Amino acid sequence: MIEIVSHGNQIRRGKYYLHSKFTSAANFCSGDSFVFVVNKEVGSGPLNIVVEGVTVDSVASLEVGNDGFYLNGDKFCFDQLKIYDSKLYVSDFNEEKFKRNLRFFESTLIEFSSPKSLAFLLDESRKKVFTSSFEIQYVKRCENAVQLFLSDDFLWGIKMLGGLGPGLTPSGDDFISGVLIALNLQSMINSSDNSNMIKQIYKTVESGNYFTTAFLRCSANGFLFEKFKQLIDSLLHAGEDEIIQNTRSLFTIGATSGADQAVGFLLGIKRFIQ
C-alpha cells in the first residue's frame, strides 16, 4: 500500500506520463513540467513525491489535481503537514564561519566525489582517470568553459557548459544548477538583487530538454532539493563533521549529478561572493 512521506511545494497540476524509471525514482512529465516519485533515500524536493510501502518502479501513473494527486489511480489529498518547503532561507550569517566551512566542503568534494565527476575542476590530479580521446576532449571543453565562466565572459562560459557531458541531466547543466543556487544564496547573504543575472543564466541554457529545464527552473527560483538544502544549512551553521556528512549525502544523487552540482555551487560562490 502506498504511503506518502512528503510532497514538494512546486508540483504543478496536470495529467502526467511516465518519462523514465529507475530503482529509486519514477519520473513523470506533463509538457515542460515534471514530478518525481522517489523513495526516502532520495528524499524530499520541490518536485518530489516521497513514498514508502511500495517499490518506486511499481508506480505507473500520476495525475495532480486541485486538492490532491492520484498514484496508480489511488487518490491522496494534499496534506499541509507533509508539504516540503523547498525555499532557501538564511539567518545569522557569519562570514568567517562560512569561509572556513567552504574549505571543509571543498576538501570533501575532492576526496570523496565520484572519479568521473567535475571535481577535476578543483584538483587537476583527478584528470588522470579520463583516458579516452573523447574523455580528454570533454575535460578540455569543461576547463575552457569554466575559465570563461570565471572571467568577465561568464555567460559565454555558461553557454558552453549547457548540455555538456553525460547523464540524464548532463554534468554541465548540473554545474549551472549549482551556480544558480550560489547566486540565490548570495542575494540573501548580501541583501543584493541577482534576479537579472539569474534570469540571464537561465535563459542562456533553457532548451527543449524539459527534464533538465525542470531542475534548472527550481534552482533559478531558489527551490532546493532536501539534500542540498541540508548542505547549505551546515555550511552556514554547523561544523566539519556535519558538512562532510551532508556533502557525501549529496553524492548519492545520480552517478555524478550531486557532485557536479556541488562543484558548480562552490565555483559560483568563488565567482560571485568571495
Which own/partner contact pairs does 127-132 have at CB distance under 8 Å and 24+ positions apart? Answer: none
Domain boundary among the residues 84, 114, 143 is at 84
Q: Are residues 129 and 185 in the same domain?
A: yes
Q: Are residues 67 and 10 in the same domain?
A: yes
Domain boundary among the residues 60, 84, 108 is at 84
Q: Are residues 78 and 133 in the same domain?
A: no
Tell me the C-alpha distance between 46 and 63, whole Å.
17
For 25, the domain range is 3-84
Amino acid at 40: K
Q: Are residues 43 and 140 in the same domain?
A: no
Residue 145 lies in a domain: yes
Give φ, ψ of 57 to 5 degrees.
Answer: -70, 0
Residue 90 lies in a domain: no
How far are the Cα atoms of 108, 128, 170 from residue 21, in angstroms, in the given order?
30, 33, 17
Tell me the C-alpha distance between 12 and 104, whole Å.
37
Q: Tell me whether strands 33-38 and 3-8 are parallel, antiparallel or unpaired.
A: unpaired
Domain boundary among the residues 28, 59, 84 is at 84
Residue 89 lies in a domain: no
Q: Are residues 79 and 99 in the same domain?
A: no
The C-alpha R_g of the chain, in whole angstroms, comes to: 18
Residue 30 lies in a domain: yes
Element (H, E) at 68: strand 68-71
Q: Which three cell numbers stand for residue 259?
A: 557532485
The pLDDT value given to residue 260: 97
Of the candidates 19, 171, 130, 56, the one whose C-alpha atom is nearest the C-alpha of residue 179 is: 171
The pLDDT value given to residue 239: 92
Q: Are residues 186 and 123 in the same domain?
A: yes
Counting every residue written for the chain, the total comes to 274
Tell me the C-alpha distance between 111 and 108, whole Å.
5
> Is the separation of the CB atoms in 172 and 162 below 8 Å?
yes
Q: Are residues 192 and 157 in the same domain?
A: yes
How far are the Cα atoms of 59, 68, 94, 184, 188 from residue 191, in angstroms, in the given order?
43, 36, 14, 10, 5
Q: Are residues 217 and 162 in the same domain?
A: yes
The pLDDT value given to residue 273: 77
61 backbone φψ class: left, alpha, beta (φ>0; ψ -120 to 50): beta
Give φ, ψ of 186 to 5 degrees.
Answer: -60, -40
Residue 194 lies in a domain: yes
Residue 149 lies in a domain: yes
What's the number of domains the chain is made of?
A: 2
Q: Which three cell numbers stand for residue 174?
A: 548540473
Tell me the C-alpha distance between 151 and 36, whole Å.
36
Q: Are residues 38 and 153 in the same domain?
A: no
Q: Are residues 150 and 62 in the same domain?
A: no
Q: Residue 152, Cβ neighbours under 10 Å: how many? A: 7
The pLDDT value given to residue 167: 77
Q: Are residues 77 and 117 in the same domain?
A: no
Residue 168 lies in a domain: yes
The pLDDT value given to residue 166: 80
Residue 205 lies in a domain: yes
Q: Can you give the pLDDT of all 274 residues of the chain as single tens digits?
A: 899 999 999 999 999 999 999 999 999 999 999 999 999 999 999 999 999 999 999 999 999 999 999 999 999 999 999 999 999 999 889 999 999 999 999 999 999 999 999 999 999 999 999 999 999 999 999 999 999 999 989 999 999 999 999 878 899 999 999 999 999 999 999 888 999 999 999 999 987 788 999 999 999 999 999 999 999 999 999 999 999 999 999 999 999 999 999 999 999 999 987 6
Tell me the C-alpha distance between 15 and 184, whole Å.
31
Q: Are residues 230 and 101 in the same domain?
A: yes
The pLDDT value given to residue 191: 83
